[in-house]
Amino acid sequence: FARVDYGQVSARILDFWQHYRRECPDLPVDVRGTHYSTGIDLASDCVPLTDIYAGDFLRAPAPNYPSGALNEDFGLEMVGYMTRIARLPGDHFPFRYYPNDPWFWQNPWWDLYQREPFDIYCPLSTGRLNGRGQIENPQVVEFLTIDTEKGDLDERCALEVIPHIRRAIDDFPDRTGLLTWVYPFAEYHQLAADRPERLDLPYFGDWFARSGINAGLPLNTVLSTDDFPEVVANHPEALADTILFSPVPFLAGDWEEALIQHIHSGGRALLYGPLDPTSPIVRQLLNLETGEGIEGECSLHLDLEPDPLVRWQGNRTFKHESILSAGPVCEQLIDSADPHTRVYATLRQGAEERIYALTRCSPEWQGGAVSWIRGSSSFSFVDQRPREYPADVWNPAELVRYLLTSFGYRFVQERQHPGVKPVLNFVTRHRNGFLFSGFKADTTAVLRYAFPQGAPLLVGAETVIQDDAATYFLDKSFHKECRIFVHQSSGGVLSCKEKPPFPTGKERKLQVSGLQDADLVVYPPLERMDEVSFELDGQEVDIEVTGGSSGGQRLAAAHAIHREGDCIHLRSVTGVLSVNW
């Protein structure tokens, strides 16, 4: 990094746009974009996207690049998409789908996607949080393209693709997802101008996020640091149900101050990256300081639940490539006796040990918590397309998904061996429900979900409940709704099915079977909350969801139903429960 003059190269790129606009002042311009993300393009090719956006050259950012279709690199597609829309050059952003190719031999719907809609539901789970605390969705849908390389218009393709597009649009997120990426769009460009030798930070940060998504991290909401302080100050409710996913702040200012304020006020954050460029305030927040670094091959000591590997029992080493990971691992505890710090991962090299992941939760933070992971590149430095480490080397990006345990979430993937690609997972919020979307590159992978509310019951699916986690054997592409979570200590097989709504006026009916002394949390649409009713073993339970009862049966007598915020809690339920609204 910094082997070229950033100012000179970026000025030449910007010069093209300025010349073009002078000669063609009235022609609207849309761009295809690169294969990569804002931070990677900035670090590797000095692309000054902030100046291009500010120069009124573009109507909209580049759409998502179809990396998912071409090489199953969905993480790169999602990271490229989210980093380009974190800030907008205009007032909208597009989504592009790749059903046919007019130039080359492939027509992806048939021979790359194999008629699976994962590259529709996954990118369309993306939401952009603006400064007003509102989720923005793509306003334009583009197709590359409607005809094949032979000029044929295959009607079958349109008939199969369009219903999935329409459903994904109907299910657009309207709230933040489980994780919200606080993306330093402006700060990365300021770093490039002021300290180009630290362009390793955006390069590593975007690649690490990409590898995390490829390893199953449910990251699909983005918020620019331009808007972040305003949201924290004026719309904190927009961040109440999400975990902030942010690089460690490397510039003092509004971004750092808003992040600390959010955590101290009860918010949750998961930070990643090295601590050497950050302020003493952030280091104190994390109870970390920096010392001499270690790099290369290390041993990983993990206090987190890893993915079970059914047919593999070998040992795995850990590699940290400093040049691709923004430097060596230097972090050590300031106070090893701090009762509010829990270390989840360390790296050891000979007699040296460094902290790799931890969580802090001070009583003074009103329930707030911060986790941190150092992060490492998931590939080595090679003069070709990067390839992930072999099976006997840890994928560092998997650890960030494991670290969600510190916030009460478990996204466990049972795989045959480390060479089986992890499952992509995205969780969006729509009409107060949860939508699980994803892609299984290998359908032998088994998924286990556990949330703070309990085990999620996906509509139209059966699940095995064990240790408050729900086990699912989902299809290659999945897009499943969840409105009910369960705690059931006895375990067992449960199902959640759609039933005909009754009586007239009801919109939905969900039926849960297999309940044994279970506690449930139900998320109806907010606008239908006053219309919710319950049936237990076919008998209506006449009760107000606010907690009062009027002659109801077992549930009412036990005062087992109460509303709390945007959900309804039920205790000690046995039998078949129907939820109507």
Tokens read off for 18: 């300025």
* CA 544 to chain centroid: 36
Find the Cα–Cα–Cα–Cα dihedral 35, 40, 43, 46, rounded to 10°.
40
Alpha-helical runs (H) found in 369-419: 398-402
Confidence (pLDDT) at 555: 55
Tokens read off for 261: 């304020």
Confidence (pLDDT) at 542: 58
Confidence (pLDDT) at 105: 86
Domain ranges of the chain: 1-125+138-171, 174-402, 410-481, 494-580
What are the CA-CA distances from residue 135 to residues 122, 223, 233, 338 (Å)?
17, 10, 17, 38
Q: 0.75 cut: is pTM over it?
A: yes
Cα–Cα dist 526/86, whole Å: 28
Tokens read off for 25: 């002042």
Confidence (pLDDT) at 551: 40
Q: Which of 54, 51, 62 is nearest to 29 (CA)?
A: 62
- Residue 248 is given by DSSP the state P
Confidence (pLDDT) at 548: 42
Rounded mean pLDDT for each run of 10 residues along the chain, 581 residues in total: 88 97 94 94 97 96 92 94 98 97 92 96 99 98 94 96 99 99 98 96 98 98 99 98 98 97 99 98 98 97 96 92 97 98 98 98 98 96 72 94 98 96 98 98 98 99 97 98 98 98 93 97 97 91 50 50 94 96 97
Confidence (pLDDT) at 388: 78
Cα–Cα dist 81/423, whole Å: 19
Give DSSP secondary structure letters for 497-551: EE----STT---EEEEEEEEEEEEEE---GGGGGG-EEEETTEEE-B-TTS-BSS
CATH of span 174-402: 3.40.50
Beta strands in 415-468 (DSSP E): 424-430, 433-439, 446-450, 455-458, 461-466
Tokens read off for 551: 């002659």
Angle subtended at Cα 123 by Cα 117 and Cα 126, rounded to the nearest 5 degrees: 140
What are the CA-CA distances from residue 467 to residues 153, 488, 491 (Å)?
52, 8, 7
Residue pair 345/357 in contact by the 8 Å Cβ criterion: yes
